[in-house]
Structure 1
Protein backbone atom coordinates (compact mmCIF):
# COMPACT_ATOMS: atom_id res chain seq x y z
CA UNK A 1 0.00 0.00 0.00
CA UNK A 2 1.23 3.49 -0.85
CA UNK A 3 1.82 5.52 2.30
CA UNK A 4 0.69 8.81 0.73
CA UNK A 5 -2.42 10.86 0.07
CA UNK A 6 -3.45 10.75 -3.57
CA UNK A 7 -6.26 11.66 -5.95
CA UNK A 8 -8.59 8.85 -6.92
CA UNK A 9 -12.11 7.84 -7.92
CA UNK A 10 -13.81 9.10 -4.74
CA UNK A 11 -17.54 9.45 -5.44
CA UNK A 12 -18.73 10.22 -1.88
CA UNK A 13 -19.37 13.93 -2.49
CA UNK A 14 -22.30 15.62 -4.19
CA UNK A 15 -20.01 17.17 -6.81
CA UNK A 16 -19.42 13.73 -8.32
CA UNK A 17 -23.04 13.67 -9.49
CA UNK A 18 -24.27 17.29 -9.89
CA UNK A 19 -27.39 16.29 -11.85
CA UNK A 20 -28.62 14.21 -8.90
CA UNK A 21 -28.08 16.81 -6.18
CA UNK A 22 -31.53 18.37 -6.60
CA UNK A 23 -33.38 15.06 -6.41
CA UNK A 24 -31.27 14.02 -3.43
CA UNK A 25 -32.22 17.21 -1.62
CA UNK A 26 -35.93 16.69 -2.36
CA UNK A 27 -35.75 13.14 -1.01
CA UNK A 28 -33.89 14.27 2.12
CA UNK A 29 -36.49 16.98 2.78
CA UNK A 30 -39.31 14.45 2.41
CA UNK A 31 -37.71 12.07 4.90
CA UNK A 32 -36.89 14.73 7.50
CA UNK A 33 -39.30 15.30 10.40
CA UNK A 34 -41.41 18.41 9.93
CA UNK A 35 -40.30 20.59 12.82
CA UNK A 36 -40.37 24.34 13.12
CA UNK A 37 -36.91 25.70 12.27
CA UNK A 38 -34.98 27.91 14.62
CA UNK A 39 -33.73 31.38 13.76
CA UNK A 40 -30.68 29.90 12.00
CA UNK A 41 -32.87 27.72 9.77
CA UNK A 42 -32.04 24.47 11.54
CA UNK A 43 -34.65 22.11 13.05
CA UNK A 44 -35.18 22.85 16.73
CA UNK A 45 -34.43 19.26 17.77
CA UNK A 46 -36.98 19.31 20.59
CA UNK A 47 -38.27 15.82 19.83
CA UNK A 48 -34.92 14.07 20.09
CA UNK A 49 -33.94 16.23 23.06
CA UNK A 50 -37.10 15.12 24.84
CA UNK A 51 -36.30 11.45 24.25
CA UNK A 52 -32.70 11.87 25.38
CA UNK A 53 -33.81 13.72 28.50
CA UNK A 54 -36.14 10.88 29.42
CA UNK A 55 -33.36 8.31 29.08
CA UNK A 56 -30.91 10.43 31.06
CA UNK A 57 -33.41 10.91 33.88
CA UNK A 58 -34.20 7.19 34.15
CA UNK A 59 -30.79 5.65 33.46
CA UNK A 60 -28.60 4.06 36.10
CA UNK A 61 -24.91 4.87 36.34
CA UNK A 62 -22.41 3.12 34.05
CA UNK A 63 -21.14 1.12 37.02
CA UNK A 64 -19.68 1.43 40.48
CA UNK A 65 -16.33 1.38 42.22
CA UNK A 66 -15.97 -2.04 43.85
CA UNK A 67 -15.84 -2.40 47.58
CA UNK A 68 -12.30 -2.96 48.94
CA UNK A 69 -11.38 -6.61 48.79
CA UNK A 70 -8.94 -6.50 51.70
CA UNK A 71 -9.18 -5.61 55.38
CA UNK A 72 -6.55 -2.90 54.91
CA UNK A 73 -8.46 -1.47 51.99
CA UNK A 74 -11.71 -1.38 53.95
CA UNK A 75 -9.98 0.35 56.86
CA UNK A 76 -8.42 2.98 54.59
CA UNK A 77 -11.80 3.63 52.97
CA UNK A 78 -13.52 4.20 56.31
CA UNK A 79 -10.65 6.38 57.52
CA UNK A 80 -10.79 8.52 54.39
CA UNK A 81 -14.52 9.04 54.77
CA UNK A 82 -13.96 10.16 58.35
CA UNK A 83 -11.55 12.79 57.04
CA UNK A 84 -14.16 14.07 54.63
CA UNK A 85 -12.54 12.58 51.52
CA UNK A 86 -14.01 10.36 48.83
CA UNK A 87 -11.44 7.64 48.06
CA UNK A 88 -13.78 6.06 45.50
CA UNK A 89 -13.13 9.05 43.19
CA UNK A 90 -9.38 8.40 43.29
CA UNK A 91 -9.87 4.66 42.80
CA UNK A 92 -12.18 5.32 39.85
CA UNK A 93 -9.63 7.55 38.14
CA UNK A 94 -6.80 5.14 38.90
CA UNK A 95 -8.83 2.41 37.23
CA UNK A 96 -9.30 4.69 34.24
CA UNK A 97 -5.59 5.34 33.88
CA UNK A 98 -4.73 1.67 34.23
CA UNK A 99 -7.13 0.77 31.43
CA UNK A 100 -5.93 3.64 29.23
CA UNK A 101 -2.25 2.83 29.71
CA UNK A 102 -2.93 -0.79 28.82
CA UNK A 103 -4.64 0.45 25.66
CA UNK A 104 -1.65 2.74 25.05
CA UNK A 105 0.67 -0.27 24.92
CA UNK A 106 -1.57 -1.84 22.27
CA UNK A 107 -1.84 1.40 20.29
CA UNK A 108 1.92 1.80 20.05
CA UNK A 109 2.36 -1.86 19.15
CA UNK A 110 -0.12 -1.37 16.31
CA UNK A 111 1.80 1.71 15.15
CA UNK A 112 5.06 -0.26 15.34
CA UNK A 113 3.55 -2.97 13.16
CA UNK A 114 2.34 -0.42 10.61
CA UNK A 115 5.60 1.54 10.61
CA UNK A 116 7.63 -1.65 10.14
CA UNK A 117 5.87 -2.21 6.82
CA UNK A 118 5.30 1.35 5.58
CA UNK A 119 8.62 2.68 6.81
CA UNK A 120 10.29 0.91 3.92
CA UNK A 121 8.44 3.14 1.48
CA UNK A 122 9.63 6.48 2.84
CA UNK A 123 11.80 8.14 5.48
CA UNK A 124 9.92 8.51 8.77
CA UNK A 125 10.67 11.13 11.45
CA UNK A 126 10.98 8.41 14.10
CA UNK A 127 12.59 5.01 14.44
CA UNK A 128 11.02 1.74 15.57
CA UNK A 129 13.22 2.06 18.67
CA UNK A 130 11.54 5.43 19.44
CA UNK A 131 8.12 3.78 19.37
CA UNK A 132 9.32 0.81 21.41
CA UNK A 133 10.63 3.15 24.10
CA UNK A 134 7.27 4.90 24.42
CA UNK A 135 5.47 1.55 24.39
CA UNK A 136 7.68 0.43 27.26
CA UNK A 137 6.92 3.59 29.24
CA UNK A 138 3.17 3.07 28.71
CA UNK A 139 3.56 -0.44 30.12
CA UNK A 140 5.55 0.93 33.06
CA UNK A 141 2.78 3.45 33.77
CA UNK A 142 0.22 0.66 33.77
CA UNK A 143 2.20 -1.21 36.42
CA UNK A 144 2.61 1.98 38.46
CA UNK A 145 -1.15 2.47 38.59
CA UNK A 146 -1.79 -1.22 39.33
CA UNK A 147 0.67 -1.03 42.24
CA UNK A 148 -1.01 2.14 43.52
CA UNK A 149 -4.43 0.49 43.48
CA UNK A 150 -3.03 -2.51 45.31
CA UNK A 151 -1.43 -0.28 47.96
CA UNK A 152 -4.82 1.34 48.59
CA UNK A 153 -6.47 -2.04 49.06
CA UNK A 154 -8.36 -1.73 45.76
CA UNK A 155 -8.63 -4.42 43.08
CA UNK A 156 -6.45 -3.56 40.05
CA UNK A 157 -8.34 -6.08 37.92
CA UNK A 158 -11.74 -4.42 38.42
CA UNK A 159 -13.17 -2.16 35.72
CA UNK A 160 -14.31 1.10 37.27
CA UNK A 161 -16.96 3.37 35.66
CA UNK A 162 -14.40 5.80 34.26
CA UNK A 163 -12.34 2.90 32.91
CA UNK A 164 -15.43 1.62 31.11
CA UNK A 165 -16.20 5.00 29.56
CA UNK A 166 -12.56 5.52 28.61
CA UNK A 167 -12.48 2.16 26.83
CA UNK A 168 -15.53 3.06 24.76
CA UNK A 169 -14.10 6.48 23.88
CA UNK A 170 -10.78 5.01 22.71
CA UNK A 171 -12.27 2.29 20.47
CA UNK A 172 -12.10 4.51 17.40
CA UNK A 173 -8.43 5.28 17.98
CA UNK A 174 -7.59 1.58 18.03
CA UNK A 175 -9.65 0.98 14.89
CA UNK A 176 -7.65 3.63 13.03
CA UNK A 177 -4.33 2.06 14.04
CA UNK A 178 -5.35 -1.48 13.13
CA UNK A 179 -7.02 -0.60 9.83
CA UNK A 180 -4.61 -1.85 7.11
CA UNK A 181 -5.68 1.00 4.81
CA UNK A 182 -4.53 3.84 7.09
CA UNK A 183 -1.20 5.62 6.64
CA UNK A 184 1.46 6.64 9.13
CA UNK A 185 -0.07 10.13 9.24
CA UNK A 186 -3.47 8.66 10.07
CA UNK A 187 -1.89 6.55 12.79
CA UNK A 188 -0.06 9.51 14.30
CA UNK A 189 -3.26 11.58 14.29
CA UNK A 190 -5.01 8.81 16.22
CA UNK A 191 -2.09 8.49 18.64
CA UNK A 192 -2.12 12.26 19.13
CA UNK A 193 -5.75 12.10 20.26
CA UNK A 194 -4.79 9.46 22.81
CA UNK A 195 -1.73 11.37 24.03
CA UNK A 196 -3.69 14.61 24.46
CA UNK A 197 -6.10 12.73 26.71
CA UNK A 198 -3.32 10.88 28.50
CA UNK A 199 -1.33 14.02 29.24
CA UNK A 200 -4.27 15.93 30.68
CA UNK A 201 -5.52 12.89 32.58
CA UNK A 202 -2.18 12.39 34.33
CA UNK A 203 -2.13 16.06 35.31
CA UNK A 204 -5.61 15.62 36.79
CA UNK A 205 -4.65 12.39 38.55
CA UNK A 206 -1.64 14.04 40.20
CA UNK A 207 -3.88 16.88 41.46
CA UNK A 208 -6.46 14.38 42.74
CA UNK A 209 -3.75 12.35 44.49
CA UNK A 210 -2.41 15.49 46.17
CA UNK A 211 -5.93 16.37 47.30
CA UNK A 212 -6.39 12.86 48.72
CA UNK A 213 -3.18 13.18 50.72
CA UNK A 214 -1.61 10.09 49.12
CA UNK A 215 1.87 11.60 49.08
CA UNK A 216 3.68 8.27 48.72
CA UNK A 217 2.14 7.82 45.25
CA UNK A 218 3.16 11.23 43.94
CA UNK A 219 6.80 10.62 42.88
CA UNK A 220 5.88 7.83 40.47
CA UNK A 221 2.79 9.67 39.27
CA UNK A 222 4.71 12.86 38.55
CA UNK A 223 7.34 10.91 36.63
CA UNK A 224 4.61 9.27 34.55
CA UNK A 225 3.05 12.70 33.96
CA UNK A 226 6.38 14.06 32.69
CA UNK A 227 6.76 11.05 30.40
CA UNK A 228 3.29 11.56 28.94
CA UNK A 229 3.93 15.26 28.36
CA UNK A 230 7.10 14.27 26.50
CA UNK A 231 5.17 11.69 24.44
CA UNK A 232 2.70 14.39 23.42
CA UNK A 233 5.44 16.70 22.19
CA UNK A 234 7.13 13.92 20.22
CA UNK A 235 3.96 12.68 18.51
CA UNK A 236 2.88 16.23 17.70
CA UNK A 237 6.26 16.90 16.10
CA UNK A 238 6.28 13.63 14.17
CA UNK A 239 2.81 14.27 12.75
CA UNK A 240 3.72 17.78 11.69
CA UNK A 241 6.86 16.50 9.98
CA UNK A 242 5.01 13.76 8.07
CA UNK A 243 2.11 15.95 6.91
CA UNK A 244 4.23 18.97 5.94
CA UNK A 245 6.72 16.68 4.20
CA UNK A 246 3.96 15.04 2.20
CA UNK A 247 2.42 18.40 1.29
CA UNK A 248 5.68 19.92 0.06
Structure 2
Protein backbone atom coordinates (compact mmCIF):
# COMPACT_ATOMS: atom_id res chain seq x y z
CA UNK A 1 0.00 0.00 0.00
CA UNK A 2 3.11 2.18 0.10
CA UNK A 3 2.93 3.31 -3.53
CA UNK A 4 -0.75 4.10 -3.23
CA UNK A 5 -0.12 6.22 -0.12
CA UNK A 6 2.85 8.18 -1.54
CA UNK A 7 1.05 11.27 -2.80
CA UNK A 8 -1.83 11.77 -0.41
CA UNK A 9 -1.88 9.30 2.50
CA UNK A 10 -4.58 11.27 4.34
CA UNK A 11 -6.99 10.89 1.43
CA UNK A 12 -6.20 7.17 1.16
CA UNK A 13 -6.95 6.79 4.88
CA UNK A 14 -10.22 8.66 4.24
CA UNK A 15 -11.18 6.17 1.50
CA UNK A 16 -10.19 3.23 3.69
CA UNK A 17 -12.34 4.70 6.47
CA UNK A 18 -15.24 4.80 4.02
CA UNK A 19 -14.77 1.11 3.28
CA UNK A 20 -14.37 0.33 6.98
CA UNK A 21 -17.60 2.11 7.86
CA UNK A 22 -19.44 0.18 5.20
CA UNK A 23 -17.92 -3.15 6.24
CA UNK A 24 -18.96 -2.51 9.85
CA UNK A 25 -22.48 -1.76 8.61
CA UNK A 26 -22.45 -4.92 6.48
CA UNK A 27 -21.59 -7.08 9.48
CA UNK A 28 -24.60 -5.63 11.34
CA UNK A 29 -26.85 -6.23 8.34
CA UNK A 30 -25.74 -9.83 7.93
CA UNK A 31 -26.15 -10.43 11.68
CA UNK A 32 -29.75 -9.22 11.48
CA UNK A 33 -30.58 -11.34 8.45
CA UNK A 34 -28.92 -14.39 9.96
CA UNK A 35 -31.06 -14.05 13.10
CA UNK A 36 -34.21 -14.01 11.00
CA UNK A 37 -33.00 -16.92 8.87
CA UNK A 38 -32.20 -18.96 11.98
CA UNK A 39 -35.73 -18.35 13.25
CA UNK A 40 -37.25 -19.53 9.99
CA UNK A 41 -38.87 -22.93 9.74
CA UNK A 42 -38.41 -22.98 5.95
CA UNK A 43 -35.80 -25.63 5.11
CA UNK A 44 -34.71 -23.68 2.02
CA UNK A 45 -33.97 -20.60 4.11
CA UNK A 46 -32.13 -22.70 6.65
CA UNK A 47 -30.20 -24.28 3.77
CA UNK A 48 -28.77 -20.84 2.98
CA UNK A 49 -27.43 -20.27 6.50
CA UNK A 50 -23.92 -21.64 5.98
CA UNK A 51 -23.35 -19.52 2.89
CA UNK A 52 -24.74 -16.37 4.49
CA UNK A 53 -22.66 -16.98 7.64
CA UNK A 54 -19.54 -17.38 5.50
CA UNK A 55 -20.31 -14.08 3.76
CA UNK A 56 -20.84 -12.37 7.12
CA UNK A 57 -17.49 -13.71 8.29
CA UNK A 58 -15.81 -12.37 5.15
CA UNK A 59 -17.30 -8.95 5.87
CA UNK A 60 -15.84 -9.15 9.39
CA UNK A 61 -12.44 -10.11 7.93
CA UNK A 62 -12.62 -7.12 5.57
CA UNK A 63 -13.38 -4.92 8.58
CA UNK A 64 -10.39 -6.24 10.56
CA UNK A 65 -8.06 -5.94 7.56
CA UNK A 66 -9.12 -2.34 6.92
CA UNK A 67 -8.57 -1.46 10.57
CA UNK A 68 -5.02 -2.82 10.28
CA UNK A 69 -4.35 -0.89 7.07
CA UNK A 70 -5.60 2.38 8.51
CA UNK A 71 -3.45 1.95 11.60
CA UNK A 72 -0.41 1.03 9.46
CA UNK A 73 -0.88 4.32 7.60
CA UNK A 74 -0.99 6.26 10.88
CA UNK A 75 -4.76 6.66 10.99
CA UNK A 76 -7.23 5.99 13.76
CA UNK A 77 -9.44 3.02 12.84
CA UNK A 78 -11.97 4.15 15.45
CA UNK A 79 -12.07 7.70 14.20
CA UNK A 80 -14.25 9.25 11.54
CA UNK A 81 -13.47 10.82 8.22
CA UNK A 82 -15.34 12.86 5.66
CA UNK A 83 -16.07 9.77 3.55
CA UNK A 84 -16.98 7.58 6.53
CA UNK A 85 -19.59 10.14 7.64
CA UNK A 86 -20.99 10.25 4.10
CA UNK A 87 -21.26 6.48 3.74
CA UNK A 88 -22.80 6.17 7.19
CA UNK A 89 -25.48 8.63 6.16
CA UNK A 90 -26.03 6.82 2.84
CA UNK A 91 -26.34 3.45 4.57
CA UNK A 92 -28.99 4.62 7.05
CA UNK A 93 -31.85 3.86 4.68
CA UNK A 94 -30.69 0.30 4.12
CA UNK A 95 -30.09 -0.12 7.85
CA UNK A 96 -33.60 1.15 8.62
CA UNK A 97 -35.09 -1.53 6.37
CA UNK A 98 -32.95 -4.38 7.65
CA UNK A 99 -32.99 -3.53 11.34
CA UNK A 100 -36.79 -3.26 11.56
CA UNK A 101 -38.42 -6.31 13.09
CA UNK A 102 -41.45 -6.51 10.81
CA UNK A 103 -39.70 -6.86 7.43
CA UNK A 104 -40.17 -9.97 5.31
CA UNK A 105 -37.01 -11.96 4.65
CA UNK A 106 -37.32 -11.36 0.90
CA UNK A 107 -37.13 -7.61 1.51
CA UNK A 108 -34.14 -8.06 3.78
CA UNK A 109 -32.34 -9.89 0.97
CA UNK A 110 -33.26 -7.05 -1.42
CA UNK A 111 -31.87 -4.41 0.94
CA UNK A 112 -28.72 -6.46 1.50
CA UNK A 113 -28.28 -6.76 -2.27
CA UNK A 114 -28.42 -2.95 -2.51
CA UNK A 115 -25.74 -2.74 0.19
CA UNK A 116 -23.57 -5.25 -1.66
CA UNK A 117 -23.81 -3.16 -4.84
CA UNK A 118 -22.35 -0.19 -2.96
CA UNK A 119 -19.77 -2.43 -1.31
CA UNK A 120 -18.63 -3.74 -4.69
CA UNK A 121 -18.27 -0.22 -6.07
CA UNK A 122 -16.09 0.81 -3.14
CA UNK A 123 -13.67 -2.10 -3.57
CA UNK A 124 -13.67 -1.52 -7.33
CA UNK A 125 -12.56 2.08 -6.78
CA UNK A 126 -9.74 1.03 -4.47
CA UNK A 127 -8.57 -1.62 -6.94
CA UNK A 128 -8.59 0.90 -9.79
CA UNK A 129 -6.55 3.37 -7.72
CA UNK A 130 -4.02 0.68 -6.78
CA UNK A 131 -3.70 -0.32 -10.42
CA UNK A 132 -3.19 3.31 -11.48
CA UNK A 133 -0.53 3.74 -8.78
CA UNK A 134 1.13 0.50 -9.93
CA UNK A 135 0.86 -0.86 -6.37
CA UNK A 136 0.65 -4.60 -6.97
CA UNK A 137 0.45 -5.53 -3.29
CA UNK A 138 -2.49 -3.22 -2.67
CA UNK A 139 -4.11 -4.33 -5.92
CA UNK A 140 -3.88 -7.98 -4.89
CA UNK A 141 -5.40 -7.22 -1.48
CA UNK A 142 -8.20 -5.14 -2.94
CA UNK A 143 -9.06 -7.53 -5.77
CA UNK A 144 -9.19 -10.48 -3.37
CA UNK A 145 -11.81 -8.69 -1.26
CA UNK A 146 -13.56 -7.37 -4.35
CA UNK A 147 -13.92 -10.95 -5.67
CA UNK A 148 -15.43 -12.04 -2.36
CA UNK A 149 -17.89 -9.15 -2.52
CA UNK A 150 -18.80 -10.11 -6.09
CA UNK A 151 -19.62 -13.62 -4.85
CA UNK A 152 -21.90 -12.13 -2.18
CA UNK A 153 -23.63 -9.97 -4.77
CA UNK A 154 -24.12 -12.80 -7.26
CA UNK A 155 -25.64 -15.04 -4.58
CA UNK A 156 -28.07 -12.30 -3.57
CA UNK A 157 -28.93 -11.66 -7.24
CA UNK A 158 -29.76 -15.35 -7.61
CA UNK A 159 -31.86 -15.23 -4.47
CA UNK A 160 -33.82 -12.19 -5.63
CA UNK A 161 -34.22 -13.65 -9.10
CA UNK A 162 -35.71 -16.82 -7.69
CA UNK A 163 -38.14 -14.87 -5.52
CA UNK A 164 -39.21 -12.86 -8.58
CA UNK A 165 -39.57 -15.95 -10.77
CA UNK A 166 -41.75 -17.63 -8.18
CA UNK A 167 -43.96 -14.59 -7.67
CA UNK A 168 -44.24 -13.42 -11.29
CA UNK A 169 -44.15 -16.71 -13.19
CA UNK A 170 -45.67 -18.90 -10.51
CA UNK A 171 -44.33 -22.17 -9.30
CA UNK A 172 -42.43 -23.27 -6.29
CA UNK A 173 -39.74 -21.03 -4.81
CA UNK A 174 -36.29 -22.63 -5.16
CA UNK A 175 -33.76 -20.64 -3.13
CA UNK A 176 -30.06 -21.18 -3.82
CA UNK A 177 -28.14 -23.25 -1.31
CA UNK A 178 -24.69 -23.10 -2.91
CA UNK A 179 -22.97 -19.99 -4.21
TM-score (norm 1): 0.62
Q: CA 1:153 to 1:146, structure 2 compared with 1: closer, same or farther past 3 Å? A: same
| Structure with more of its chain in helix, by fraction | 2
Which residue number in structure 2 is paired with residue 160 of structure 1?
Answer: 81
Higher relative contact order (CA 8 A, sep 6+): 2
- 1:173 has 2:94 as partner: yes
Unaligned runs of 5+ residues in structure 1 are 1-75
Which residue number in structure 1 is paired with residue 158 of structure 2?
Answer: 237
Alignment: residue pair count: 166
Which residue number in structure 2 is paired with residue 99 of structure 1?
Answer: 21
Q: 1:219: Cα distance to partner?
A: 2.2
Which residue number in structure 2 is paired with residue 26 of structure 1?
Answer: none
Distance 2:120 2:111 in 1: 15
Q: How does 1:1-248 map to 2 (within 5 A)?
A: 80=6, 85-117=7-39, 119-121=40-42, 123-124=44-45, 127-212=48-133, 214-247=135-168, 248=170
Q: 1:234: Cα distance to partner?
A: 0.6
Unaligned runs of 5+ residues in structure 2 are 171-179
Which residue number in structure 1 is paired with residue 177 of structure 2?
Answer: none
Distance 1:206 1:213 in 2: 10
Q: 1:177: Cα distance to partner?
A: 1.2
Distance 1:215 1:153 in 2: 21
